[in-house]
């Protein structure tokens, strides 16, 4: 039976380290990292995400500001707010919770955030850094996934890795980060015709699709490391993209849902906020 990679436990360790670093930064700079989160509209899922982020920041000793804006805010007004936050020396991270209402161009908004304050790692220059294998702010979920993989002690070099899903926020960056670690990476998506065959060849399998239990035990190679990014509601329960009970019998390591990638995403966001702080304050 596979060992469980507990994102809950690992994220606690990271958050404790972040807290220590914040204390040290406060002594050195007489200020702490300040994250501003902008939430447009009333979407309950988005509200619960931003509340969790705010709580985590405060617990780590950072400053956190949640700016809630009406659904009717114009693109121009939102862009003006971002410019103001870019110019505010007391602000080190700016995160605009997605999705935004249809009348606002998300790309324009992301591009407007100063790259050194882009804690989400979505700015094109940070995206480019991931693809070029250069230093930049990594998107939080892929960063958390790599931390989980590193925690297993398994060397990725030469391993065959399958990433299911090719979104800009998870699938593609995870694939690039695995490639950077010298894994041989395959990316599958909705038009892939031989998913089971690819999966059965994967030493590392990352599922980032958003379809409950689509990866079943018969698709897992014996001893594979399985990272389940998916968050789906099934019969009023949160489940992943992987059929956990079956898959854990085949995997060497596996992440649960909930308590897996989710908490790591928040821990990575805190780490990114410190990175942004250091980039800005040491200029």
Q: Does 229 bind ligand NDP (CB under 6 A)?
A: yes
For ligand NDP, the closer of residues 24 and 234 by Cβ is 234
Q: Which two tokens stand for residue 243?
A: 């059929």
Q: Does 209 bind ligand NDP (CB under 6 A)?
A: yes
Termini Cα distance of the chain: 50
Of 121, 165, 173, 256, which lies in the binding site for ligand NDP, with binding defined by CB under 6 A? 165
For ligand NDP, the closer of residues 17 and 167 by Cβ is 167
Q: Does 166 bind ligand NDP (CB under 6 A)?
A: yes
Identify the burial level of 103 via C-beta atoms within 10 angstroms of its C-beta, where 0-12 means exposed, 13-18 middle and 19 or more buried.
exposed
- Contacts of 151 by beta carbon, 8 Å cutoff, 6+ apart: 5, 10
Q: Does 53 bind ligand NDP (CB under 6 A)?
A: no
Of 111, 152, 167, 186, which lies in the binding site for ligand NDP, with binding defined by CB under 6 A? 167
CA 137, distance to chain mean position in Å, is 11
Pairing type for strands 232-234 and 237-239 reads antiparallel
Candidate list 53, 115, 117, 143, residue with the active-site label: 53
Candidate list 63, 97, 143, 172, residue with the active-site label: 97
| Interatomic CA distance for residues 283 and 280, integer angstroms | 6
Q: Which two tokens stand for residue 70?
A: 């009406």
Verify whether residue 97 is a known catalytic residue.
Answer: yes
Candidate list 63, 115, 118, 120, residue with the active-site label: 120
Residues that are catalytic: 53, 97, 120
Residues at the contact surface with ligand NDP, assessed by CB under 6 A? 141, 164-167, 169-171, 188-192, 195, 208-211, 229-232, 261-262, 265
């Amino acid at each position: 039976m596979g060992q469980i990679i507990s994102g809950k436990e690992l994220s606690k360790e990271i958050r404790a380290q972040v807290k220590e670093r914040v204390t040290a930064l406060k002594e050195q700079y007489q200020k702490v990292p300040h994250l501003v989160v902008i939430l447009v509209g009333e979407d309950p899922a988005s509200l619960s995400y931003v509340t969790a982020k705010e709580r985590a920041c405060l617990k780590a000793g950072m400053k956190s500001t949640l700016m809630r804006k009406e659904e009717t805010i114009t693109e121009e007004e939102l862009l003006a707010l971002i410019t103001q936050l870019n110019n505010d020396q007391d602000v080190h991270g700016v995160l605009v919770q997605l999705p935004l209402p249809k009348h606002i161009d998300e790309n324009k908004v992301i591009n407007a955030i100063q790259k050194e304050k882009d804690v989400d790692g979505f700015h094109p220059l940070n995206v480019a850094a991931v693809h070029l294998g250069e230093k930049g702010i990594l998107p939080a979920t892929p960063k958390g996934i790599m931390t989980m993989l590193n925690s297993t002690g398994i060397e990725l070099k030469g391993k065959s890795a399958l990433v299911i899903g090719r979104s800009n926020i998870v699938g593609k960056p995870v694939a690039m980060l695995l490639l950077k670690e010298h894994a041989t990476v395959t990316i599958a998506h909705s038009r892939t015709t031989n998913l089971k065959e690819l999966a059965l060849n994967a030493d590392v399998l990352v599922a980032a699709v958003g379809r409950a239990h689509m990866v079943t035990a018969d698709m897992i190679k014996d001893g594979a490391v399985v990272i389940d990014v998916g968050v789906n509601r099934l019969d009023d329960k949160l489940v992943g993209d992987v059929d956990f009970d079956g898959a854990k019998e085949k995997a060497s390591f596996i992440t649960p849902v909930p308590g897996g990638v989710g908490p790591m995403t928040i821990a990575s966001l805190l780490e990114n906020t410190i990175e942004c702080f250091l980039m800005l304050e040491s200029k």
